[in-house]
Structure formats: structure tokens, C-alpha cells
Amino acid sequence: MRRFLLATLFFVALVTIWHFVVRAEIWSVVMLPSPKSVGEYLLGAARDGTLLEATIVTVRRLLLGYVIGIAIGLPLGLFTSASKFMEDTIGVLALGLQTLPSVCWIPLALLWFGQTESAMLFVVIMGTVWSVVIATDTGGLHKWTKVILPASLPYLVSGMKQGWAFAWRSLMAAEIYVTILTGFGLGHLLHYGRELHAMDQVIGVMLVIVLIGLLTDKILFAPIERFLHRRWGTGLR
């Protein structure tokens, strides 16, 4: 409860500072809208269904790409940890590609798949696979066989969590640059807000993206991590 109150006070303070910065007119309200303006955009987008529809489209794309990326990355990471040859080849490749910004996959995706859902899916998968391979390799097959299975589980969850974060970033980049008619996601709202100089929309959508990321961590990954650490006594703080 104390942590919740402190966090609430912190964010209230941030919004208050934001409000007074706008009042000080350091920047034009076109460039930095007020918290009230952003709140009005979010309320309006929620009422007309735009925000919900975009969120559903984005989350659907994210889940599909993430699941495929996990299905590829987890076994590949386990095999990499079990073989010196795989470590020196696939492991090095994964390390290099994991550092590649997600936006770099978009030109390839557009050339290979065009302005399609497949292009977005490809970018999300590429953003997921290599981070999962690296994180899974850290707690890989040798720990499953030579130590105990539970010792590896926190590493695997960590790999999945990291893969989710990279998938999320990759999808946002893809939605900003790939224009398709099969569904407008949060990245598209962000892009069109920038094109129209509607900064209340840009900031509002950014806040929604951050909120979804936080909720995913708190609702999905954090409970699993706490359970594993409690169950196997690995001392999570």
C-alpha cells in the first residue's frame, strides 16, 4: 500500500510539473499540449471506440508475432546452450541481430512482403526471437540437465519477458512505417497524430502504450516471477 501511494504521488507530481511547464509557455501549446488537452483526446477516443479498436488490433498482432517468436526462440536458445558449435555460430548471430534496432527490419519486410500484415508479423518475430535466444541461452539446457529444472525457469521467464519488450517495440516501429488497410493500430494513431501535428493525440497514444507495457509486466510476468522465486527460494526482493 505504501509503495502504491508513493508511486501515485510521484505521478501526480509529474502531471503537476507538466501543467506548470505548459502554463509557463516555454513551448507552444501546439508542441506541448496540457494534461487537460491530452485527457480530453483520450476520453474522446475512448468514447468513439477509436482507442479500443486500435488497441485490440495492436495487441492481436503483438500476441501472434510474440507466440511465433517464442516458439522459435526458446528451443533455439536451449540448443545453443547445449552445443559449443551452436554457441559460436547461432549464439554470436543472435547477439549481433539482437542489437539491431527493430526499425532496420522494416525495409526488408516491405520489400519481401509489401504493405501487408505479414510485413508487421515478420518485424515482430525478428524483434522477439533473438532476445529470447540470448536470454534462454543464459539459463539453458546444461542447467536443465546438470543442475535442476527449477534453476532454469527464472531465466526462461526472463527471456520471455525480454522478448515481449522487444516485440512491443518492434510492432510500434512497424505500425508507424507500414501502412495497411486491414486495421489501424496504436502505432498508426501515433503516426497520424504526428502528421497532423496533433500532439495531444501523440502524447495520449504514447501514454496508452506505456500503460499497456506496465500492465503486461505487473499482471502477466511479475506474478510468474514472484511464484517461481518463492517456490524455489531464489530470493526475489
Model confidence over 15-55: pLDDT tens digits?
Answer: 999 999 998 888 888 888 999 999 999 999 999 999 999 99
pLDDT band at 237 (very low <50, low <70, confident <90, very high): very low
pLDDT per position as a tens digit, 53-66? 999 999 999 999 99
Query: Do residues 177 and 71 lie in contact, with contact meaning Cβ atoms separated by under 8 Å?
Result: no
Question: For position 132, what pLDDT does the model report?
Answer: 84
CA separation for the pair 17, 34 (Å, rounded):
11
Q: Which residue type occupies 192?
A: Y
CA separation for the pair 181, 191 (Å, rounded):
15
pLDDT above 80: residue 183: no
pLDDT above 70: residue 146: no
Average pLDDT, stretch 162-169?
84
Query: Do residues 29 and 19 lie in contact, with contact meaning Cβ atoms separated by under 8 Å?
Result: no
CA separation for the pair 158, 160 (Å, rounded):
5
Whole-number average pLDDT of the chain: 83
Q: Which of 225, 218, 209, 194 shows the shortest CA–CA distance to 30?
A: 194
CA separation for the pair 163, 70 (Å, rounded):
8
Q: Which residue type occupies 63?
A: L
